């Protein structure tokens, strides 16, 4: 593992790092905020998955999360949103597929299958790396994210309830099988078999994968992607039918960006802290 930079922040340390990833087959970058409590022992870990076009830096620069994480003693972890430098023809041609748009799936369709394995990277390799190199307690691990990352967080938690004790999302892609972003990504990474797509769709998964805690989602009603791409009402209906606890909060006027996210960030961190302390 290589340290790129570290910075004092609210009594803790904001760091940026890289490492050679076995799952991805390339170097991956990630960021960690270690709260002041981490200087005395292991602390709960909260992984954040960012959205389309973002990097491991976006969340920490824009969300304002470190102040509250320092108060609550939460370690924050954010990976990059895709492999970089895979050398696949056309991988940087589209903002919603390829570089910056790994969709947190394990690709099975060539030429993506070799390097685009973000699901396994996020749920297996990165947690092991954090446990080995940072004072994070992976027995107290939560996950959350925004948009594409909200989709990744919901899928990761539903498929791995033994790994994650809390989950939340900001404006997630709730039903990727039924939106343009999702169908483009799932077809591109997985091929045309829709049975495989369902393993990466929270609305489909919730019928057979119960999460023990309450899922928290915040959604802005001024979000231009709400009706075509995000479809939270589909997940809401699926949760109701499956008996999955869900708190879906709708906010008039708020859009899809980080002004919205930063407004409700403290609520999400406190949601996770309560679950991880239980």
> What amino acid positions are annotated as catalytic residues?
147, 223, 256
Peptide bond into 197 cis (omega under 30): no
Q: How many CB atoms lie within 10 A of CB 22?
A: 12
Residue among 220, 210, 218 at smallest CA distance from 145 = 218
The C-alpha atoms of residue 223 and residue 225 are separated, in whole angstroms, by 5
Structure tokens belonging to residue 208: 């057979």
The C-alpha atoms of residue 275 and residue 255 are separated, in whole angstroms, by 28
Burial class (CB in 10 A: 0-12, 13-18, 19+), 161: middle
Residue 126 to residues 92, 102, 134, 166, 260, Cα–Cα distance (Å): 24, 15, 11, 17, 28
Pair type for strands 136-146 and 166-170: parallel
Structure tokens belonging to residue 7: 């910075």
81 phi, psi to nearest 5 deg:
-95, -5
Structure tokens belonging to residue 21: 């990833």
The C-alpha atoms of residue 140 and residue 137 are separated, in whole angstroms, by 6
Torsion of the alpha carbons at 262, 156, 103 and 110, rounded to the nearest 10: 170
């Amino acid at each position: 593992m290589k340290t790129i930079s570290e910075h004092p922040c609210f009594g803790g340390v904001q760091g940026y790092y890289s490492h050679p990833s076995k799952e991805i087959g390339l170097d991956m970058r990630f960021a960690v905020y270690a709260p002041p409590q981490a200087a005395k022992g292991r602390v709960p870990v909260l992984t954040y998955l960012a959205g389309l076009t973002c990097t491991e830096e976006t969340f920490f620069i824009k969300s304002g999360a470190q102040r509250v994480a320092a108060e609550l003693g939460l370690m924050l972890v954010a990976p990059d949103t895709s492999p970089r430098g895979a050398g696949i023809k056309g991988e940087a041609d589209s903002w919603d597929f390829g570089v910056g748009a790994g969709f947190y799936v394990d690709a099975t369709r060539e030429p993506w299958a070799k390097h685009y394995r973000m699901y396994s990277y996020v749920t297996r390799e990165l947690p092991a790396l954090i446990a080995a190199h940072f004072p994070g307690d992976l027995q107290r691990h939560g996950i959350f994210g925004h948009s594409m990352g909200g989709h990744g967080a919901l899928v990761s938690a539903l498929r791995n309830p033994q790994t994650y004790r809390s989950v939340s999302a900001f404006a997630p892609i709730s039903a990727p099988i039924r939106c343009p972003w999702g169908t483009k990504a799932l077809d591109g990474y997985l091929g045309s078999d829709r049975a495989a797509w369902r393993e990466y769709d929270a609305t489909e998964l919730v019928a057979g994968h119960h999460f023990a805690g309450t899922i928290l989602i915040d959604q802005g009603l001024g979000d231009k992607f709400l009706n075509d791409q995000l479809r939270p009402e589909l997940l809401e209906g699926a949760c109701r039918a499956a008996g999955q606890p869900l708190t879906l909060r709708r906010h008039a006027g708020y859009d899809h960006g980080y002004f919205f996210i930063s407004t409700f960030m403290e609520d999400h961190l406190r949601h996770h802290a309560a679950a991880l302390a239980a």
